[in-house]
Amino acid sequence: MSAVAMRAEERASKTLDRAAYERFLPMVRRTAMRFARRVPSHITVSDLIGYGWVGLMEAYQRADVDMPAGEFEAYALYRVRGAILDYLRSLDPATRELRRSSRKVADAIRTLTGQSGRAPEEDEIAVALGVSVDGYRDLLQRISTGGMARLELLDLDNLDVEGANEDVDDGVGRRQLGAAVADAITDLPPKLQQILALYYQEDCTLREIGAILGVSESRVCQLHSDAMHRLRAMVGRR
């Protein structure tokens, strides 16, 4: 048996023992609770935790046996979040249409940026999509309301990042993607950067952000969705 085959067999035979269960339970529960605050009330925390454990088991199955503990924890978190997201995405067939619309917005932003060498204005994006500015804002809001405009849903797993090594493993690739997103955030307009900081770092609600910025909650929703699509356009190329 080749060395590669032996390592694959070792990975497949790994199981989650009691010690590992107790070690990772807080991480799985914490991740599930963070999602639970952002999803409809009929989706239970226990469901999210269950799918989180599926992700953890996948991490155990796929990680190299000699992966350092710290690196595995980061990889496991990535897998836990991914499994929960896959579950959430599967709940409503309408999300597929919203994801297609989201890709179209990002593609339009990417194309316009390449043509003009600058970030496009919303009226330019609207024209590229064949809708009015109000129609574009409504689309952004529907994408956001449908749950397709969160930082976790940028489809980073399916994006090629400029300068990324295609031969790296999932953990390294995810770090490259994370670094690319962090760099891209600094290129957003200050207001959009502020919205992301308030929403993801300070855990402010859209209503609270609106009060801080002096705009409506729906406008914050649109601006947040706009920021997500600009990030996606900057980070990846499809």
Q: Is 91 helix (H, G, I), strand (E, B) or coil?
A: coil
**Equal CATH topology for 3-90 and 94-237:** no
> CATH class for domain 3-90?
mainly alpha
User: Tell me, what's the pLDDT at 128?
Assistant: 96
pLDDT tens readout for residues 210-230: 999 999 999 999 999 999 899
> Letter for the amino acid at 91?
L
Domain residue ranges in the chain: 3-90, 94-237
Q: How many CA atoms does the CB half-sphere of 129 hold within 13 Å?
A: 28
DSSP structure string for 168-215: S-HHHHHHHHHHHHHHHHTTS-HHHHHHHIIIIIS---HHHHHHHHTS
Q: Over the chain, what is the mean pLDDT? A: 78
pLDDT tens readout for residues 133-190: 999 999 999 888 776 666 654 544 444 444 444 334 444 444 555 566 777 788 888 9
Q: Is the dihedral of CA 145, 147, 149, 150 positive or negative?
A: positive
Say which residue the tokens 């489809």 belong to.
155
Fold of 94-237: Butyryl-CoA Dehydrogenase, subunit A; domain 3 (1.20.140)
Q: Encoding tokens for residue 47? A: 């469901």
- Within 10 angstroms of residue 218's Cβ, the number of other Cβ atoms is 15
